[in-house]
Chain A
Amino acid sequence: MNATALLLTVAGTIGMALFGLFAGLWFTGIDRVLAARMQARIGPPVRQPFIDLSKLLVKQNVVPANAIPWLFNGAPLLALASAITILLYIPMAALPGLPVLGLQGDLVLIMYLLLIPGLAMVAGGLASGSPYATIGAQREMVTMIAYELPLASTVIAFAWKLAQMNVANPFSLSTLAATPIWTLVGPVGFMGLLLLLATMILVVPGELGRIPFDAPEAETEIAGGLLVEYSGRNFALFSLSLAVKTIVVTSLLVALFFPWNLTDFVAISCCPYLASAANAAFFLLKLFVVLFFSVTLVRISVARFRITQVVDVYWKVLGALSIVGLLLVMVDAYVR
């Protein structure tokens, strides 16, 4: 890698980090306003997450007496850094230079990286020395094990289909972005993909720890769970990492199921900048639609699951659904 490419990568990394932070906080604000409107409330201003963040940064940062300070302070940094790292691998709109590290990573890498923010929260929770945080950490680990089965089945279905079509690098994200999966299957496989899409939509709130899968944080029973001892700057870093993770997980769903660009439908040939801007706006629109259906609508419609029910839903219901989807995609390859 020469100096120019290195410099471009560094600049791209900073740019993507800023995009992740800002877009994540904006989408969190939009989610709060929409949720309030659905409950017949007026709700906070859209920039409320930014106000909350600036308040948390001026608050005192308490490190409890029986915490392990280096781990307690390090975990929020690790969570934020790893969330930003995933953002560098995920294909987004067809903009020049995106994704920043696009040629390296694949889906398996992303599945591993997605675990790190959660594991950082677990480490921070266990290091804070509070019994509530310990319960929260155990629940978080159980939740991570639970949603991994439907997520893995979905990824396997995609990779199997691409490998069966003799596409080079079936796990690669650039392959996925270039070949919309819906165009490769017949009617049976289409049904299977719909099941996989429904599964992924319900994996997103689990990844993000939102209602109904927020048993690890459960404010009303274990007082904030994992984050119970966090305050001030550390708490702000955790909320930032959650905001970035919101963008990461929804971008992953968009990259898997809806990789189209606006320029695929409407030819914008007059100038390349306008096309790029239109693609970026279209990508944000896709993110918003996914967030609305998988986070806002779900969290307003249902109450929190108990931790045992979280495992039941992810393994028995969504696990079965995703495996049926996988089988339908496989059957489709032989019947058409």
Chain B
Amino acid sequence: MKLSQTLGKSLWAFLFNSGSCNGCEIESVACVTPRYDLERFGIKVVGSPRHADLLLISGPVTRKMAPRLKRVYEQMPEPKIVVCIGTCGTSGGAFYDSYTLVGPVDQVVPVDMYVPGCPPRPEAIIDGVVKVLARLEAKENAAS
């Protein structure tokens, strides 16, 4: 069975705040409310990185959070998808030259998809997740 067939219909997400202002968290959590209802597509927010397939990271990576982010990423079972939410995680945003930052998310863990916006709308987050799944499927089709 192809991985993307099951993974795409049952994607369990783990939210990780690596130093965000909480704006992106509010928008991410809005995705599971009745208005957007991501559970329609089998997407569910889980409490442990061990259960997760999708790591949603928001915020620039602070010095304190960098080793934790790396550890959480390593704790996830393969295969894993990383989506970076918000301008801060993509480029550093307003905090790009802050002395407390290690840098954007991709300086610490590999990122599959960036969702820009400050904060991005829930539609944009859902679109990012759908695009990364489509890419996973295309990659598998190319391989087989």
Contact = CB atoms under 8 A, between A and B. Distances in A.
Interface of A: 32, 36, 39-45, 48, 51-52, 54-55, 58-62, 132, 218-220, 222-224, 227-232, 235
Contact of B47 (A45, A224, A235): A224
Given A36-B37, A59-B78, A231-B77, A52 B47 contact: no
A55 B37 contact: no
Q: Which of B42, B51, B53 has the most CB of A within 10 A?
A: B51
Interface in B1-48: 1, 3, 6-7, 9-10, 34, 37, 39-42, 46-48
B6 A58 contact: yes
Contacts of B9: 48, 51, 55
Contacts of B79: 59-60
Given A51-B9, A55-B7, A231-B77, A224 B34 contact: no
A41 B42 contact: no
A219 B42 contact: no
A44 B9 CA distance: 10
Counting from the closest, the 10 A-B pairs by CB-CB distance are: A219-B47, A60-B77, A55-B6, A224-B48, A60-B78, A231-B77, A231-B50, A55-B10, A223-B47, A41-B37
8 contacts: A36-B39, A51-B10, A55-B53, A58-B7, A219-B48, A220-B47, A223-B47, A224-B46
A39 B34 contact: yes
Interface string B77-100: 111000000000000000000000
A200 B3 CA distance: 42
A18 B34 CA distance: 35
Contact of A231 (B1, B37, B47, B51): B51
A52 B51 CA distance: 11
B77 A48 contact: no
B48 A42 contact: no
Contacts of A41: 34, 37, 39-40
A286 B79 CA distance: 41
B37 A42 contact: yes
Contacts of A232: 77
Given A41-B34, A41-B39, A54-B1, A228 B48 contact: yes
Contacts of B50: 62, 224, 228-231, 235
A239 to B, nearest CB: 10
A296 to B, nearest CB: 15
Contacts of B78: 59-60
Q: Which of B6, B48, B78 has the most CB of A within 10 A?
A: B48
B72 to A, nearest CB: 11
Given A58-B7, A228-B48, 18 more contacts: A36-B37, A36-B39, A41-B34, A41-B40, A43-B37, A43-B39, A44-B41, A48-B42, A52-B42, A54-B1, A59-B79, A62-B50, A132-B48, A224-B47, A224-B48, A228-B50, A229-B50, A230-B50
